[in-house]
Amino acid sequence: MIVGYTTGVFDLFHIGHLNILRNARAMCDRLIVGVTTDELLEEYKGKHPVIPFEERIQIVRAIEHVDVAVAQESMNKFEVWKKMQFDIMFVGDDWHQTPQWEIIEAKFSEVGVRIAYFPYTRGTSSTLINDFLQKEREKSQEPDTVKE
């Protein structure tokens, strides 16, 4: 049995998230998904999610491609591997060949874990959606100007 693992914030769940989960599940027999906690997101990116952790993990658990969803409370992927013993980890291709992930790949290859990079779905992201919503909120708060 091939066990796969991926992580994400999964805030403002969109088609890009679904594509990653669908593609990951197609490459393994069991997919474990780490959903980033609010605290880790604030610590790591200095951001607050729109949707709270408990709701985000419920959404991810409801996706048919996900076998298990767990809290991602640390950025240390190797520590997670020690607990979960996955065979393959799925990562966005924006991390491919970065110094950080070359180190992670080397460490995982020592224990037989493969890293698979998936392309991000073009034209959609939680950041783009959030930026759009913020602009719409700002527009709705602008006072109406009447020309005489």
6 by Cβ neighbours in 10 Å (0-12 / 13-18 / 19+) ranks as buried
Q: Is the pLDDT of residue 80 over 70?
A: yes
Nearest CA among 68, 46, 65 for reference residue 57: 68
Residue 120: CB atoms within 10 A of its CB come to 13
Tell me what pLDDT residue 105 has.
93
Where in the chain are the domains? 3-141
Residue 130: strand, helix, or coil? helix
Q: φ, ψ for residue 5 (rounded to 5)?
A: -145, 135
Least confident of 26-40, 70-84, 91-105, 112-126: 112-126
What is the C-alpha to C-alpha distance for residues 24 and 34, in angstroms, rounded to an integer?
13
Does the domain made of 3-141 have the CATH classification 3.30.450.20?
Answer: no
Q: Is the pLDDT of residue 53 over 70?
A: yes
Beta bridge partners of 72: 36
Residue 46: strand, helix, or coil? coil
Tell me what pLDDT residue 141 has.
75
Q: Report the mean per-residue pLDDT for the chain.
A: 88
Tell me what pLDDT residue 15 has.
86
81-102 confidence digits (pLDDT tens): 999 999 999 998 877 888 988 9
Q: Is the pLDDT of residue 50 over 80?
A: yes
Instruction: Summarize the confidence of residues 107-131 as an average pLDDT.
Output: 78
Tell me what pLDDT residue 133 has.
57
Instruction: Summarize the confidence of residues 21-41 as an average pLDDT.
Output: 97
